[in-house]
Each structure stands twice: as structure tokens, then as C-alpha cells.
A and B are shown apart, each in its own frame.
Chain A
Amino acid sequence: MSTRRTDRRPRTYRSRRAAGKLGYYTTATALAILFLFPLLWSGWASVRTSNGFGLANYRNMVHYGDGIGTYLMNSVEVTALTVAGTLTVSLLGGYAFGRFRFPGKNALFLATLAILMVPYPTILIPLYVLLGWLGLQNSLLGLAAVLVMFQLPFATFLMRNAFEAVPQEFEDSAAVDGCGTFATLSRVMIHAVRPAVVTVGLFAFLAAWNEFFAALILLNSSDKFTLPLAVVAMEGRTFGSIDYPTLQAGVVFMAIPCLMLFLVLQRSYVRGFMAGALRS
């Protein structure tokens, strides 16, 4: 704007700028309200009851089906297994791809990235059959294994880049101190790649906690349902008359961990999206 300083009518210009500013903030704020409104409504609807406000909807939700505790534990189990599995496999793989030279390295790395090229709904049917052969059908472990596979291209890519960026001196001085490759990884390298670990862990958490489609296909008894499946089943319980308030209590219950993680780990979120965008 500095080039406009020569404007002959500074007054008009200034007031026009003020009007522009007002217009900008009005539009931007109206849009922000529009985007936040459904979230706020959901929170409000979840505490609204027939006689004012209260936690009755949450009480209904807690006692739904096998009890929300069962579904919560299933979700926690799938999420924990997925996060642990993704971190373990991608940390070791990222170390291998980032710092070692071995035959078949590029082929394996490309095969891992190729998972992105194959739309995952198209391989869930064979995965359903395959897990049956492995005795992992309708099991939380089987679902977690599949989710680890879906997370792997992103996680491996991010880890490899993180390991590649570590200066060679780190490795050399660890070797001087008598560290083998594993001690180098577990004592030195892991600290250098911590941001990538947080990002991979965050995205694995969100993917597992929120996964609907794979869970729908791979889990078929209601005692194995994760939270999204259970809440969707809540929707269909009495056809034609959905218990919306209880449903919104479930929505809030599922959304809160995600929103809290977002507020705490905003930076890792953005880093993850950038990496996700870079992968192509």
C-alpha cells in the first residue's frame, strides 16, 4: 500500500480504506460464524432436554446398546494398536529408507507409496476375505492392522524425510561412542525426529478414532463396534424416529478428543497437511 502514499486525496482514501477494512472483517466474521455454527449447535443440542438443560442425553448415550463403555474401549484399543503399530513400523522403515543403502530399497519405498495410488475402498473386500483366512475377521487387531497399512505411505514418507534431514555428525559421534545402529536410533536419532513422530502419531490417532468405512466392513458383531459404528447404529435403532438429542451427545463425545488434540497440536496438524500435500 506504500505506493499509494502519493494519493492526492488522503482523506477520502483513508475513509475508503476504513470502509474496506470494515467490509473485510464483516464478511470474514460472518463466514467464521457460519463455519462454527454447526459445532456450537451440536454442543447446545446435546445438553438441551425436554425440561430445559441437563445431561439426560448423555445418560441415554452412556446406556445405549452394550453400554458406551464397550464401544469406547473398542475405539481406544483400535486407536492404541494403530498408533503403536504405525509408529513402530514407520520409525524403523523411515530409519532404513533415510539412512541405509540396501538392495531393493527404492522398490520397497515406491511400493509403500503406491498404497496412496490405490483407492482403499477397492481393496477392502479382499482384505475382508484375507483377514478371515488369518483368523482376524471381526477383530479389533485385524482392523488396526489394516489401518496401519493405510497410514503407512504418509508415515513412512514423513519419517524418511525426517531421518534424511539429520546431520551425519549425529550418527558419526554416536558410532564413536560405540553405539550400534539400534542404539543410534533409540538414543540419538529418535530425539532428532520427534516432530515427525508427533505428526505421525497424531494422524494415526485421528484416522483410527474416526475410521468408519473400514470398521463397517471389517467388524460385524455389535460387541466389537467402535464409537462411530455404534453411534451410526444408534441412528438406525428405531427406524423413522431418530433420537436426535442422544445422537448429538454421541457426536460431541466423539468430537471432543479431536478438537482438543487440534488445539494442543495445531503446528503438527499443519505440518502433516503440508507433508500430505507434498506426497504427490
Chain B
Amino acid sequence: MQTTTVSPQDAPPDAGPPAGARPGRRSRRATRRAVSGWAYALPTAAVVALLFLTPLVLVVWMSLHHWPLLGNPTFNAPQNYSELAQNNLLMSAVWFTLRYTVIMTVVLFAVSLGLALLVQNPRPGVGLLRTAYFLPAAVGFATASLLFLGFLSSAVGPVNPILQHLGLISAPVDWISGSPGGALGSIVTLVTWRFAGFNMIILLTGLQAIPVELYEAARVDGANRLQCLRRITLPLLRPTIALVLIMMITGSLLAFDQFYILTKGGPDDSTTSVVMVIVREAFVRFDLGSAAALSVLALVVLLILNVLQLSILRRRNDS
């Protein structure tokens, strides 16, 4: 279902001139079209070359230099890289980011799939339910993080009073900065709230591509709901599942906003992510070279991961 719309369904749009035109005219016209094509693609080429390819080369170049925020860079390779190995905060950030990625992906995926299955079938009111689950995704992520700063706070947030009223806690809890576990839980709650509806929509499009006849046939054969889910839905949904998992994993590995805004990496650096360390190297320790070296490593790791995931995705798509 993912590949059909990508490939052009119509006749090739840049088909040549009508048959019968003389070859000379044909090639002259083709040349003119090629020049026009390049002219229209020029802004894209300029942006890609200047703002994407140049920084890609520059980040490698910077990583080989002592590059202070102010002052002249000097060549010092491979010191930036070797120093990263001794960076204790980085080591704990890598460990935390990996743990966070596993927890976040599992929770977010379970909730997103649950919501998608819940609103899969058309029934009265299902449109309203979808909208309700999706609405948090319409709010900016930084805005959502700020919202949760108040929502989960022990000062004005409604969470503590409600839990106390229900008798689940006896005294107000400082969820965000009270303990490492509470901080992580706050972040996981925030991200799930903000992104579950978004992933639900993508899973829904995958669910809707599954032919209804399959379910009908299964029901005739006496299959119950759980069997339908295991034997039909999950196998056929695999490409979409792989896709949302890729987006969740990459997103979690690069997480920054939620930590910077909600927990500030605390308490005691327990929620400091890898990207937070990059920013700290650059703008707190004023060492752009070291930040660049860390960026290069993150880039390489994520590229490998992306290629791996894409090849898995493609294989599943083909089979």
C-alpha cells in the first residue's frame, strides 16, 4: 500500500513530442525542456547544496579541529573523538537515551495500536473519538511540553489532587523533578499524549488497506477476534508497523525538546539525552569541535540504523 502512490500511475509526464517530429527538432526541444527543468530545480539545488550538503561536510571538518565558540579553530584530530570516550556525562546520556528509546517505543506503540484498533471500524461517533485522540498532535511539541510542565507540577497541576482524592497517593508527589523514575514517567506520559494520535492515524491508514473480505472469511471459519488480530491484522499491518516503529525509535534517539523544557536533564542528570550533551558541549562548554565530533558519531550510528531499518522494511514489503 505504501509503494503504489509513489510510482507514477499516469503516462510518463515528460514524454517526448508527438511521433513524426523530425529528430533534429526533437532533440532541440528536449534540450530546451532540459534547460527549463534545471532552471526550475535550481532553487532546490541551491538550498540542498548550501544548507544541507555543506553543513554535512563542515561537521566532519569541524570535528577534526579545536573549534571554540569565539576565536580561531586549530587542527587537533583526533582529540575531539578520543575525549568523548572520557566524557562521563556522555556515557550516562547514551545509556539513558537507549533505555528511554526502548521504554518510549514500547509504550507509545502499544497505546497507538490500541487506539487505532479501537477506532478502526466505522460506527456512530467514531469520527469524534478519532479527533479527540488526535487533537494533542495538533499542538506544537514545545507547547505541549510547557503545558505538561504545569499539568504535572505539584504547584498547580490537577494530577496530585485527583490521585489523592482517589486514594492512590497519600501526599503530593513532585513528578517532574522529584526522582529519576518520576521524571522519566513524566516524559513518557507527555510524549505518549502528544504522539499517540499521530501514530494512530498512520496505523489506521494501514488498517484500512486490509480487505474486509479477509475478516469475513475468517469469521465464517469461526475465528474469534483475537485470532483475527493475530492471523490477519498484525501480519498484514507489518509494513505500517515497521514504519511507525522506525519513526518512534529515531525520534526517541534524537529527543531533546521534552528534556530541555520539562526536566532540564535532571534530577541529577538522570534524564540527559545524547542531543542534550551535544548542545552542552557547544553552548555551555563552548567547544564546537567536540560537539561536532559527537554529531558525527550520532550521524553515523543513525544512518546505519536507518539503512538497516529501511532494508528490513523493504524486505517485509516485498514478501
Contact = CB atoms under 8 A, between A and B. Distances in A.
Q: Chain A contact residues: over half helix, strand or loop, or mixed? A: helix
Contacts of A163: 13
Interface residues of B, number: 102
Contact of B141 (A99, A119, A210, A278): A210
Contacts of A38: 136, 147-148, 151, 193
Contacts of A37: 158
A42 B151 contact: yes
Interface in B8-63: 8-11, 13-15, 30, 33-45, 47-48, 50-56, 58-59, 62
Given A38-B193, A42-B150, A123-B52, A27 B143 contact: no
Interface residues of A, number: 99
Contact of B303 (A117, A211, A213, A250): A117
Contacts, number: 290
B237 interface: no
Interface in B87-123: 115, 118-119, 123
Contacts of A92: 40-44
A193 interface: no
Interface string A154-175: 0010000101111110010000
Contact of A259 (B53, B135, B261, B278): B135
A74 B95 CA distance: 38
A185 to B, nearest CB: 8
Interface stretch (A11-19, A62-70, A240-248): A240-248
A73 interface: no
Contact of A93 (B44, B243, B288): B44
Given A88-B43, A181-B36, A280-B246, A125 B155 contact: no
Interface in A208-258: 209-213, 216-217, 228, 231-232, 235, 242, 244-245, 247-248, 250-251, 254-255, 258
A42 B152 CA distance: 11
A58 interface: no
30 contacts: A27-B118, A35-B136, A35-B196, A41-B158, A89-B47, A92-B41, A93-B40, A96-B38, A98-B13, A100-B37, A111-B52, A119-B250, A119-B298, A121-B298, A122-B299, A126-B295, A129-B58, A149-B51, A156-B44, A165-B9, A168-B11, A210-B141, A210-B143, A213-B257, A228-B140, A251-B150, A273-B201, A273-B202, A278-B2, A280-B246
Given A118-B52, A171-B13, A235-B146, 5 more contacts: A93-B41, A99-B13, A127-B51, A168-B11, A258-B138
Interface of A: 3, 24-25, 27-29, 31-32, 35-39, 41-42, 45, 88-90, 92-93, 95-105, 108, 111-112, 114-115, 117-123, 125-130, 145-146, 148-149, 152, 156, 161, 163-168, 171, 181, 185, 206, 209-213, 216-217, 228, 231-232, 235, 242, 244-245, 247-248, 250-251, 254-255, 258-259, 261-262, 266, 269-270, 273-274, 277-278, 280
